[in-house]
Amino acid sequence: MTSEDRLAPIRERIDAIDAELLRLISERADCAREVAKIKEAAGQTTHYYRPEREAEILRRIKTQNPGPLEDEEIARLFREIMSACLALERPLSVGYLGPEGTFTQAAALKHFGHSVRTQPFGTIGDIFREVEAGSCNFGVVPVENSTEGVVSHTLDMFARSPLLIAGEVMLRIHHHLLSRATEIGAVRKVYSHQQSLAQCRGWLDRHLPAAERIAVGSNAEAAKLAARSGDCAAVAGEAAAELYELRSLAQRIEDEPGNTTRFLIIGREDAPPSGRDKTSLLLSCRNEAGGLHRLLTPFAEQDISMTRIESRPSRQGVWDYVFFVDVCGHRGDAEVSGALAQLKTAANLYKVLGSYPEAVL
């Protein structure tokens, strides 16, 4: 029997499975239409997107996954099915830090799937403004990188904005050296976002010590610039290579192999409880011995884990600081709401930035 003969019956099985999958996915899409009708009747026009429900579904799929596909892979497939179902109910528009091809766009698509309308904006401030004005349903902004630390501009925007955090996305960041040149030796200038240059500092020192490093607004803009001249390169992601037709001269040049960026989903509302949530807060206390310790004591007393604390100058006094704090749990949970009530009375500044599901994908 030839290999073609052996393949034929398996392909027949695949065709039958595909027909069944198609039937089931269409049936699921019909259910989404029913859901939309109920939401419409209830007048919940702003609640078509349900982050807590999506997080629950993805978590369940991952625990039920029998293999052989990886949990992440199967969750990505379901992510896209839900994205298409939501688009049938009501398409979402999502603003991100552009231009096209940035990691922020990749984060937006990872979180919402490919059926949303993504819209690039030039600055983090523009994204906040557009979501506040209602021209985008949600925005996606970078907040911290595992190698380079916090994106301070994003944190500062929260201090001034009424927007809330409705979700988080973790994205593994792989940087490549992209150019029209055919070899690394021909590269005289390297463009990238300053964080990316910093994340690849060691590699650039070793392989391109003489090349000039130029910081620009985004990795995608760097790729655009690199596409203009044969002796330039960009440090950017895979999406930018395709978009700007650049050759990848070296892959995965980041100094830390676990390099991950965390992005936040910002919206006019945060998310209802999903069972595994985080709450982000903006706090400040009196500038005195033990002030911060006293402020955070309610979390310890209620056994609430703090996953992050970041300090930023308050811009009000020379030595005054505000703290960005993330804790496990939803602000509607009894322990968290108890701790928050205590905190509110003790803090100089107290602002809940939102409760939202922990990243699933």
Shortest Cβ distance from residue 82 to ligand PRE (Å)? 4
Q: Which of 103, 112, 158, 263 is catalytic?
A: 263
Asked if 314 and 321 count as a contact pair (C-beta separation under 8 A), the reply is yes
Nearer to ligand PRE, 54 or 144 (CB): 54
Is 118 among the catalytic positions? Answer: no
Q: Which of 102, 104, 154, 261 is catalytic?
A: 261
Shortest Cβ distance from residue 63 to ligand PRE (Å)? 17
Nearer to ligand PRE, 55 or 283 (CB): 55
Asked if 76 and 120 count as a contact pair (C-beta separation under 8 A), the reply is no
Task: Give the start-end residues of each E strand in the chain.
Answer: 93-97, 117-121, 138-145, 149-150, 164-172, 176-179, 189-192, 212-215, 232-236, 247-250, 260-267, 277-284, 306-313, 321-328, 349-357
Shortest Cβ distance from residue 272 to ligand PRE (Å)? 11
Nearer to ligand PRE, 81 or 226 (CB): 81
**Which residue sits closest to ligand PRE, CB atoms considered?**
85
Nearer to ligand PRE, 29 or 184 (CB): 29
Nearer to ligand PRE, 113 or 142 (CB): 113
As beta bridge partners, residue 140 has: 96, 265
Shortest Cβ distance from residue 355 to ligand PRE (Å)? 17
Asked if 162 and 132 count as a contact pair (C-beta separation under 8 A), the reply is yes
Shortest Cβ distance from residue 89 to ligand PRE (Å)? 6
Tokens 């992005």 sit at which residue? 263
Is 263 among the catalytic positions? Answer: yes
As beta bridge partners, residue 355 has: 279
Nearer to ligand PRE, 32 or 186 (CB): 32
Shortest Cβ distance from residue 79 to ligand PRE (Å)? 10
Rounded-to-integer distance, Cα 150 and Cα 116, Å: 27
The CA–CA distances, whole Å, from 69 to 62, 73, 74, 263, 296 equal 10, 6, 6, 26, 43
Residue length of the chain: 361
Note the residues at the interface with ligand PRE (CB under 6 A). Answer: 32, 35, 49-50, 53-54, 57, 82, 85-86, 89
Rounded-to-integer distance, Cα 120 and Cα 105, Å: 8
Rounded-to-integer distance, Cα 224 and Cα 218, Å: 10
Q: Under DSSP, is residue 231 helix (H, G, I), strand (E, B) or coil?
A: coil
Give 269-321 as a DSSP string: S-----SSEEEEEEEE--SSTTHHHHHHHHHHHTTPPEEEEEEEE-SSSTT-E
Task: Give the residue numbers marked as catalytic.
Answer: 261, 263
